[in-house]
Structure 1
Amino acid sequence: MNPTAMAWRAGWSRGLIELRQSLTNGGDLFNHFFWPVLMLIAVFFLREVSFGQSGFSLGTLVLPSILGMNAAMSMVSMSQQLTADREDGTLLRAKATPNGMVGYLLGKIISVSGSLVVDLAIFLIPGMFIISGLAIGDPGSWLTLSWVLALGLVATLPIGAVLGSVFVSVRSQGLLTLPILGMIAISGIFYPLTVLPEWVQWIAQAFPIYWLGLGMRSALLPDGAVAVEIGESWRHLETIGVLGAWAVLGLLLAPIVLRRMARRESGSSVAERREKALQRIG
C-alpha cells in the first residue's frame, strides 16, 4: 500500500480511537457535558428576556450564537492538544515514523471535529425543547448549519494547529485564553453586535467567531430575526468570504509552521520540558 495512504488510514483510525476514548473516560465525559450544560442554564434564564422591540427573546437569539462560538473554540482545543502532545513526546514519536505527522494531524482533526459535534448535540438537542421560535422544521436550516459548521472547522482548525506549534507548554496556553474570551465578548454571541460601537463591530467582523455565530443564527432563526443584524442581512456571501479567507490563511501557514516545529523536536527538547514540568510540580 502507498505510504501516504497508509498514513491517512492510520490517522483515521487514530482519530476514531481518541474520540471513542473521550466518550468512555469519566474526566473527558465531564468536559463534554460541563460547558453545554452551563450554557443551557444560561439560555434557560434568558428565554423570557426580550431584546428591545424585536419580538424575540435573548434566549432565542443566543442559542444559535453559542453553537457558533463552540465551533470557533475548536481551534483552542486543537492548540491545547497539539501543545500537550508536543510536551509529552507524542509528537516526537509521530515524527519518527514514515508520514507519521500526516497521520497524527489527520487523527487530531477527526477527534477534535468529532468531539465538537458531540458537544454541539449535547447543547442543541435539549436547547430545542427549552427555546421556542427556532426554525428547526425547515431542511434548509440544517443544510445551512452543516455548511457553516464545515467551513468554520476548515477556517479554525488549521489556525489552532499553528497556535499549538507556537506554544511550548500547556501552561503557556493561558496566554491564548484571554484574547479568545475578549473576542467572544465583542462578537455578538450573548447580545446582538449592533448594540456595540461601530469601531468594535469592525474589529469583531475581522475574526471567525462573529461569522460563525451569524451563520448559525441564519440557519436556526426565523427570517424576522435578521432585523437585529448589521444591515438587516444574514450576509451569507460575506460569511463564506471571511471564513474562506481564514481557511486559506490557516492552510497556507499550518504546513510551514508544523514542519519547522517538527524539525526542532528532539529527545533532548522533550526531556528538557519534562524536567521543567517536574520542577514546577516539586
Structure 2
Amino acid sequence: MNPAVTAIRTGWTRGLIELRQSFTNGADLLNHLLWPVLMLIVTFFLRDVEFGSTGLPLGTLALPSILGMNVAAVMVSMSQHLTADREDGTLLRAKATPHGVRGYLVGKVVALSGGLLADLAIFLIPGLFIIGGLAAASAGSWLTLAWVLVLGVVAALPIGAVLGSVFTGTRSQGLLQLPILGMIGISGIFYPITSLPEWLQAIAQVFPFYWLGLGMRSALLPDAAAGIEIGASWRHLETAGVLAAWAVLGLILAPIVLRRMARRESGSRVAERRERALQRIG
C-alpha cells in the first residue's frame, strides 16, 4: 500500500481516538461545554435587547455570529496543539516515522474539526429553541451554513498550523491572544459592525472573523436583517472570495513552514525546551 495513504489512514484513526478521548476526559469535556454554555447565557440575556430601531434582538444577531467566531477560533486551537506537541517531543516522534508528520497533521485536523462540530452543535441546538427570530427552517439556510463552515475550517486550520510553527513554546502563545481578541472585538460578533467607525470596518474585513460571522448570519437570520450589514447585503460572493483567499494562502504557506519547522526539530531542541520549562516551574 502507498505509504502516504497509510499515513493518512493512521492519522484518521489517531484523530478519532483523540476526539473520543476529549469527550471521556473530565477537563476536556469541561472545555467542550463551558464556552457554549457561557455563550448561550450571553445570548439569552440579549434576546430582549433590540438593536436601534430595527426591531432585531441583539441575541438573535449574536447567535450566528458566535458560531462564526468559534469556527475562526479553531486556528488558535491548531496553533496551541502544534506548539505544545513540539515542546513535549510528540512532533519529533512523529517525524521519526515515514510520513509521520503527515499522519500527525491529519489526526489533528480530524480531532479539531470533530470537536468544533460538537461544540457548534452544543451551542446551536439549544440556541434555536432559546432565541427567537432565526430563519433556520429552510434547506437553503442549512446549505449556506454548510459551505461557510467548510470554507471557514479550510481557511482556519492551515493558518493555525503556520502560527503553531512560528511560536516556539506554549508561553509565547499568549502573544496570539491579544490580536485575536482585538479582531473579535471589531468583527461585528457581539454588535453590528456598521456601528463602528469606517476605518475599523475596513480593518475587520481583511480577516476571516468578520466574514465567518457574516456568512453565518446570512444562513440563520431573515433577509430583513441584511439591512444592518455593510451595503445592506449578505455579500455571499465576497464572503466566499475572502474565505477562499485565506484558505489558499494557508494551504500554500502551511506545507512550506511545516517542512522547515520539522527539519529543525531534534532531540537536543526538545531537551532544551524541556529544561527551560523546568526552570520556569522551579
Q: 2:187 aligns to what SS in structure 1?
A: coil
**Aligned pair count?**
282
**Structure 2 equivalent of residue 101 of structure 1:** 101
Alignment of 1:108-187 (within 5 A): 108-187=108-187
Letter matched to residue 142 of structure 2: W
The superposition leaves residues 109-153 of structure 1 with CA deviations (integer Å, 9 ceiling, x where unpaired) of 111111111111111111111100101111111110011000001
Letter matched to residue 33 of structure 1: L
**Structure 2 equivalent of residue 204 of structure 1:** 204
1-side partners of 2:25 and 2:59: how far apart?
A: 32
Q: 1:242 aligns to what SS in structure 2?
A: helix
**Structure 1 equivalent of residue 59 of structure 2:** 59
1-side partners of 2:151 and 2:118: how far apart?
A: 18
2-side partners of 1:139 and 1:131: how far apart?
A: 20
The superposition leaves residues 4-63 of structure 1 with CA deviations (integer Å, 9 ceiling, x where unpaired) of 110010010011010000011000000001111111110010000000111110000000
1-side partners of 2:141 and 2:24: how far apart?
A: 32
**Structure 1 equivalent of residue 29 of structure 2:** 29
Letter matched to residue 231 of structure 1: G
2-side partners of 1:139 and 1:24: how far apart?
A: 34
Structure 1 unaligned runs (5+)? none
Letter matched to residue 185 of structure 1: G
Q: 1:117 aligns to what SS in structure 2?
A: helix
Letter matched to residue 171 of structure 1: R
Letter matched to residue 42 of structure 2: A
Letter matched to residue 189 of structure 1: I
Deviation at 1:100, TM superposition (A): 0.5
Deviation at 1:169, TM superposition (A): 0.8
Report whether the alignment pairs 1:217 with 2:217.
yes
**Structure 2 equivalent of residue 38 of structure 1:** 38
Alignment of 1:208-247 (within 5 A): 208-247=208-247
Report whether the alignment pairs 1:11 with 2:11.
yes
2-side partners of 1:116 and 1:196: how far apart?
A: 29
Letter matched to residue 133 of structure 2: G
2-side partners of 1:99 and 1:9: how far apart?
A: 11
Letter matched to residue 201 of structure 1: Q
Q: 1:188 aligns to what SS in structure 2?
A: coil
Letter matched to residue 100 of structure 1: G
2-side partners of 1:34 and 1:174: how far apart?
A: 20
Deviation at 1:87, TM superposition (A): 0.3
Structure 2 unaligned runs (5+)? none
1-side partners of 2:136 and 2:220: how far apart?
A: 6
1-side partners of 2:34 and 2:281: how far apart?
A: 27
Query: Percentage identity across aligned positions?
Result: 77
